[in-house]
Amino acid sequence: MDKLEFDAFCVHNSKDKTWMKTIAGKLRQRGLKLWIDEEQILGGESFQKKIQEAIPKVRSAVIFIGENGLGDWQEEEVQGLLQECKQSDKPLIPVLLPGIKEVPNDLRFLKLRNWVSFDDGNYQALNKLEASIRRKLVEHFFDVILCYREENASEVKQIAHQLNTFGFNLWPVDLSTSTLQASLLERLDQQLERIWSMAVFVGNNGGPWEREVIADIILDFREQHRRVIPIILSSVAQTKELKLPVYLRRLGSVDFRKEEPEPIKCLFSGITE
């Protein structure tokens, strides 16, 4: 990181903490390192001093603007941050949280900055924000890739539809036992770092790991500390003895044969947490 410890210094109102943490979590999934005050400033330490110490260590600064304004951040502190960024040629990026259409008048000195709006759609906003922080165009980022035996395709497609409906960005080609062409595997290898998680579906006849190449890809995911989620399909008999490979047995699974807790919500959590 060219001797910089953090990709972005994050400014936010404590009342917007939930939104900020959600966005910060997504950025961290993409490999970005963030400076957030509650993680870096201990009780009794000087807020202003820690900010001044942090700026030389960051690549950029991000200001989250919600309906409650900047709260504890006074205009002169933000102005000081803006000046620090100007002097060190670092981008300062206003981020408009949902419900905010433009930079408020009391922060008019930020209006000339190209902002990122989460009213435009989370996925597009995250891509723009990541590109702004890195100061270069970035490839698409995907929440999950689906991995299954071809015989289970119909049931998996129904779950994929629910994921799409709730805004998850799926890798465009499922990894099934019938899609193992060399061109697909080469593409997957190139984009592996831009896929956050893998959903591995278990049917009545087992799972896709029985193909050695798929087993290797699942292991690659595990080795890169990416999330792998075993999913038991609803068509699997309750009395069926599931024979998962060792590297999947200790992972928390989502069981669509159960009504509670609601399995689709468990899958959402498994992907996002």
Q: Give CA–CA dist 70/65, Å, rounded.
A: 6
Query: Among residues 134, 154, 184, which one ends one of the domains?
Result: 134
**Domain membership flag for residue 2:** no
Do both 184 and 238 map to the same domain? yes
Q: Which domain holds residue 175?
A: 142-272
Number of domains in the chain: 2
pLDDT of residue 149: 95
Strand order in the sheet with 34-36: 34-36, 8-11, 61-65, 92-96, 116-117
Contact 28, 133 (CB under 8 A): no
Its pTM stands at: 0.74
**Domain membership flag for residue 191:** yes
Question: In the predicted model, what is the mean pLDDT of the chain?
Answer: 88
Query: Among residues 134, 163, 184, which one ends one of the domains?
Result: 134
**Domain membership flag for residue 3:** no
Do both 12 and 103 map to the same domain? yes
State the CATH number of the domain containing residue 46. 3.40.50.10140
pLDDT of residue 146: 97
Average pLDDT over residues 158-187: 91
Q: Which two tokens stand for residue 82?
A: 């803006």
Q: Residues of 193-214 as b/e, b for ≥16 C-beta within 10 angstroms?
A: eebbbbbbbbbeeebbbeeeeb
pLDDT of residue 272: 83
Do both 128 and 185 map to the same domain? no
Query: Among residues 111, 134, 157, which one ends one of the domains?
Result: 134
Confidence of residue 1 (pLDDT cuts 50, 70, 90): very low
pLDDT of residue 75: 62
Do both 32 and 114 map to the same domain? yes
Other beta carbons within 10 Å of 135: 10
**Domain membership flag for residue 1:** no
Secondary structure class of 232 (helix, strand, coil): strand
Do both 267 and 153 map to the same domain? yes
Do both 116 and 163 map to the same domain? no
Do both 175 and 223 map to the same domain? yes
Q: Give CA–CA dist 52/109, Å, rounded.
A: 20
**Domain membership flag for residue 88:** yes
Do both 158 and 130 map to the same domain? no
Do both 186 and 149 map to the same domain? yes
Q: Give CA–CA dist 234/224, Å, rounded.
A: 30
Other beta carbons within 10 Å of 82: 16
Contact 29, 102 (CB under 8 A): no
Q: What percent of the chain has pLDDT over 90?
A: 47
